[in-house]
């Protein structure tokens, strides 16, 4: 059985879904792509049992073909070939595959397509649609705050809460928290689910940078994302997400407004001189001046900078982990940010000074105890 396909379109399709594959998989078949050709349409699948992706492209074929092909060898071959039609000859009894290019022939051993795990299908799902740009922004704004602690599985993913009022995305690792609400993404019924990190990373790298509509379907066990010719399916994290609203301070009488990039660059410089265990930087706010300082007593390193700011509230010294602050500021895109504070022992709340339409973004960072030796 034969099919003909363009090298460029096949390589692009395979690279789109190749991030799913783990090279150290226990099951050899999971290191393969599954090719399914039906009526001149080819669907290629990749899975690690938890996450699956598929993509569609056009091929020339009079046959219906199913074959599993090792991912590494096919990707490495395609990367070295120029744009041209490739003919695949598949022996459905031995699963041998021969690839014929304009200048050569390449033979490899495929595997039985029936051994490839079945990808979950959407059954009994609820649906919500949103623009690819909105989902991409939500993923980028929350993913960095996801926890790496597998002992708290709920926090290793992003909580998605849908309702008639809008959709909220939440991530926290107990040191920092991000909450983004979109008022333009609504669902008739209130519901929530937790998306795992790997699926979010794959979405981040494959979502188109456009207003393409993304269809999101979900049930109790899986979520299904469909956009353009691609589908991503992931198993949801089955755990209870902590009550994140309980840690967000409501009354923050002290408000600091300053230039985001100036603050971020100053933190980058000052953190070079901070303790490499705590990355502690102290923010001393007085009037219209912010002093940022850090020291590492073990090496007699210290640094101080002053920035102009706008501040309403009582003078205060508060310390944070510089790496967390720099990371948060890097996710934001506004010129100015607002930091809301109450006391040196309570969390600081960071918001963009200029809100985007239909978007409410809040970032929370826990302080560290001031230790000046």
**Mean pLDDT calculated for residue range 60-81:** 96
Span 95-116, pLDDT tens digits: 999 999 999 999 999 999 999 9
- Of residues 207, 236, 205, the one with CA closest to residue 20: 205
Instruction: Say if CB 79 and CB 72 are below 8 A apart.
Output: no
Check residue 332 and give its pLDDT: 94
pLDDT exceeds 80 at position 210: no
C-alpha distance from residue 222 to each of 108, 194, 284, 318 (Å):
34, 10, 47, 42
* Mean pLDDT (whole number) for 318-335: 96
Structural domains in the chain, sorted by start: 2-115 (3.10.150.10), 126-245 (3.10.150.10), 248-365 (3.10.150.10)
Ordered DSSP codes for 67-131:
EEEEHHHHHHHHHTSPS-EEEEEE-TTT-EEEEE-SS-EEEEE-B-GGGSPPPP---S-EEEEEE
The pLDDT of residue 24? 78
Q: Which tokens belong to 310?
A: 């706008």
Confidence of residue 120 (pLDDT cuts 50, 70, 90): very high
- What is the rounded (10 degree) CA torsion for 48, 54, 58, 64? 60
Q: How confident is the model at residue 23 (pLDDT cuts 50, 70, 90)?
A: confident
Average pLDDT, the chain: 95
Q: What is the pLDDT of residue 371?
A: 63
């Amino acid at each position: 059985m034969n099919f003909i396909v363009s090298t460029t379109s096949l390589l692009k399709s395979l690279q789109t879904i190749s991030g799913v594959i783990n090279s150290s998989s226990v099951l050899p078949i999971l290191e393969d792509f599954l090719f399914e050709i039906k009526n001149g349409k080819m669907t290629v699948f990749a899975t690690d049992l938890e996450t699956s992706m598929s993509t569609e492209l056009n091929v020339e074929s009079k046959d219906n073909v199913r074959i599993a092909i090792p991912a590494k060898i096919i990707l490495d071959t395609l990367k070295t070939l120029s744009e041209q039609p490739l003919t695949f000859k598949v022996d459905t009894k031995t699963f041998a595959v021969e690839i014929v290019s304009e200048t050569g022939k390449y033979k490899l051993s495929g595997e039985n397509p029936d051994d490839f795990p079945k990808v979950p299908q959407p059954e009994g799902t609820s649906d919500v649609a949103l623009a690819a740009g909105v989902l991409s922004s939500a993923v980028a704004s929350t993913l960095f705050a996801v926890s790496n602690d597998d002992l708290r599985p709920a926090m290793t993913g992003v909580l998605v809460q849908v309702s008639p009022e809008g959709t909220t995305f939440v991530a926290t690792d107990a040191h920092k928290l991000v909450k983004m609400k979109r008022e333009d993404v609504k669902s008739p019924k209130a519901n929530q689910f937790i998306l795992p990190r790997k699926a979010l990373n794959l979405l981040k790298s494959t979502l188109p940078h456009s207003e393409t509509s993304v269809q999101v379907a979900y049930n109790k066990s899986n979520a299904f994302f469909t956009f353009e010719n691609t589908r991503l399916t992931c198993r949801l994290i089955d755990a209870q997400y902590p009550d994140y609203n309980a840690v967000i301070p409501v009354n923050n009488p002290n408000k600091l407004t300053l230039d985001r990039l100036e603050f971020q660059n100053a933190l980058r410089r000052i953190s070079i001189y901070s303790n490499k265990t705590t990355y502690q930087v102290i923010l001393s706010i007085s009037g219209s001046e912010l002093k940022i300082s850090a020291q590492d007593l073990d090496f007699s390193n210290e640094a101080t900078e002053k920035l102009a700011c706008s501040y309403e509230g009582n003078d205060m010294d508060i310390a944070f982990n510089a790496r967390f602050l720099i990371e948060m500021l890097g996710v934001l895109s506004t010129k100015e940010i607002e930091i809301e504070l109450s006391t040196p022992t309570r969390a600081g709340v960071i918001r963009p000074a200029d809100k985007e339409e239909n978007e409410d973004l809040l970032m929370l960072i826990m302080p560290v105890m001031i230790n000046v030796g």
